[in-house]
Structure 1
Amino acid sequence: MENKENLQETLKEETEVNNNEEVEEVKSEEIKFEEEISELKDKNKVLKDENKKLENELNSLKDRFLRMNAEYENFRKRTEKEKKAIYTDACSDVLNNMFPAFDNLERAIVAEGNAEDLKKGIEAVMKQFIESLSKLDVEEIGAEGEFDPNYHNAIMHVEDESLGENQIVEVFQKGFKRGDKVLRYSLVKVAN
């Protein structure tokens, strides 16, 4: 019986040792889990802070984008308005130079007199009109000499041995230019 008691005692001690070892192992695992949880909490906090910083940066960029887009829209509208104003001003300048010739043509319509007087009046209006064009830096395109496709538009062609090659024979409509820009091509008849 003593053996039995010893055996029970030994079993009891072994069970206690096993239980103690298991408890120690569980405690060790609990400590590891707690450390891991603590690390994860720290990482989570860092990630939350980083996420908040990125959200703030995103909101800042959205705000900048919206402001820049609004500025661009305002710029576009302002530019369009200015462009229309410049065109209106340019038209006004041109027309103000033409109005005196218009007024004189109106007077010529109601004027009484013979053909010679009317002709002199029309010549004076034509001179005034040419002066108006000159004030706008508009020049007549010369139509003498050789045909130049940069300034002339040939609408007729004639064969004549007495004239040179590509010689302008007749002008049907005068052309005009301002600087290097052709406003209207001269309509001409070209020989050979």
Structure 2
Amino acid sequence: MSEEKKEEIEQEVVENQEEQTCEDNATSEVKEETVESVRAELEEKLKEAEDKYLRVHADFENIKKRLEKEKYQAIDYASEKFAKDLLTPIDTLEMALAAEESAKDLKAEELLKKLKEGVELTIKNFYTVFEKHEISTIDTSGEFDPNFHDAVMQVDSSEHEDGQIVQQLQKGYKYKERLLRPAMVSICKK
């Protein structure tokens, strides 16, 4: 091969190498720009996610505080309906006292009869309120049940079996299935 030909080939090889180096540099810059842009994009998404998380967490905390406040208000005012319903029996008792003024010219028997009617009406009003709020009396007929009865005395009775309730001394009440007050009873002891 001639010298000129060698030089031409060498020149082409050098030019190819320079082109390759330029392309490699350009690719490297593109890669760096791509990595930087991807990193910036990911950082932006991370910031958005953190912001979204903080907002959701703040909303959750606000809801939690509101529910806590509502819960305590519900507890504080849970008896409001029951208290309102007790106003009717109170009104009946107050009307009975006011009627005493207008009943001065009645005979004692008539006054006693009217007073008894007023008390019966008041008791009926109380039981209506109790029924409405699922308060019931405890049954005292039959066997003694220590879950609902409080035996305060034992008596002999030929009419009752041993352990049976002979007499109710004070009514017992339960709210739904929960005991409010046991019934005071006397039981048969043989």
TM-score under structure 2 length normalisation: 0.63
Q: Distance in 2 between matches of 1:56 and 1:32?
A: 36
Output aligned runs, 1:94-173, within 5 Å.
Answer: 94-104=86-96, 120-136=113-129, 137=131, 138-158=135-155, 160=156, 162=158, 163-173=160-170
**What is the deviation of 1:146?**
2.2
Deviations 1:71-104 (A, max 9, x none): 3323433454355445223211123333313542
Query: Cα–Cα, structure 1 residues 125 and 153, in superposed 2: closer, same or farther, change >3 Å?
Result: farther
* Higher-Rg member (1/2): 1
Give distance in 1, aligned partners of 2:100 and 2:163.
40
Indicate the SS of the match to 1:189.
strand
CA positional deviation for 1:182: 3.9
Q: Among residues 166, 183, 186, which one is paired with 1:186 in the alignment?
A: 183
Per-residue CA deviation, residues 95-142 of structure 1 (Å, 9 max, x unaligned), is 333331354257669x87987667545533431232112312154433
CA RMSD of aligned residues (A): 3.9
Give the secondary structure class of the aligned counterpart of 1:69: helix
Q: 1:66 to 1:83 in 2, by over 3 A?
A: same
Q: Distance in 2 between matches of 1:189 and 1:133?
A: 26
Give the superposition deviation at 1:164: 0.9
* Structure-1 separation of matches of 2:89 and 2:162: 40
Gap regions ≥5 residues in structure 2: 1-16
Q: Could you tell me the TM-score, scaled by structure 1's length?
A: 0.63
- Contact 1:105-1:122 within 8 A present in 2 as well: no
| Residue 58 (structure 1) aligns with | 50
Name the counterpart of 2:64.
72
Asked if 1:81 is matched to 2:73, the reply is: yes
Local SS of the residue matching 1:147: coil
Q: Distance in 2 between matches of 1:152 and 1:105?
A: 35
Partner SS for 2:162: coil
Q: CA shift at 1:185, angstroms?
A: 1.8
CA distance in 2, matches of 1:119, 1:147: 37
By how many angstroms is 1:67 displaced? 1.9
Which residue is equivalent to 1:176? 173
TM superposition shift of 1:186: 0.8
Over 3 Å counting, the alpha-carbon distance change for 1:161 and 1:91 in structure 2 is closer
